[in-house]
Amino acid sequence: MSSELELEFSGLATDKIWMRQCIEIAKSNVDPIGNKTVGAVMMGFSRGLYTGCRHTFINHNNVPHKTIHAEQFIIWEAGEDARGAELYVTMEPCAKRWHNNSNYHYPSCVEYIIRAGIKKVYIGKLDKDFGGGGVQALLKAGVQVVHVLGMEKDIAALNENQRVEPIVQEEFKEFINEV
């Protein structure tokens, strides 16, 4: 067995259809503070279909309060149905998250995916900011990772012209308290 874990590649039409759905979901919520716009679709183990995108919650003073990544949101939404599921996500899941350049570490998307028991992750675009760290961490944990080819240009376009549309925090109070 090779010492380097292998990323798989796919150009299948069905994988591209699901990735296009992720792109459309990402377009529904562009991050108001300039974070990357990310969309996700997950086929739950019991055949439930879940969708999610990155959310930045704004406090009562209209100041960004907390950012929930697409993968975290979708896993929270699916609950136990995430175990054994397949996840499509526009960007490579983050391997590390820090709070305002402090020493406080939030659980990363990779940690959420591994804990949830997701068996396969399809990625539309590798994240150069993480240098493959998310992919390698998932592979090392035994999660199958597939890069869906031919989607990079469309995914990069998501972040070119961001508009500001904050999410009302009240809609997700239960989620914020759990994360």
> Any idea which residues carry the catalytic annotation?
71
Phi first, then psi: give them for residue 12, nearest 5 degrees. Answer: -65, 140
- Would you give the distance in Å from CA 148 to the centre of its chain? 15
Structure token digits, residue 146: 């597939």
For tokens 């998310």, the residue is: 134
Structure token digits, residue 76: 């929270």
Structure token digits, residue 37: 């716009």
How far is it, in rounded angstroms, from Cα 140 to Cα 138? 5
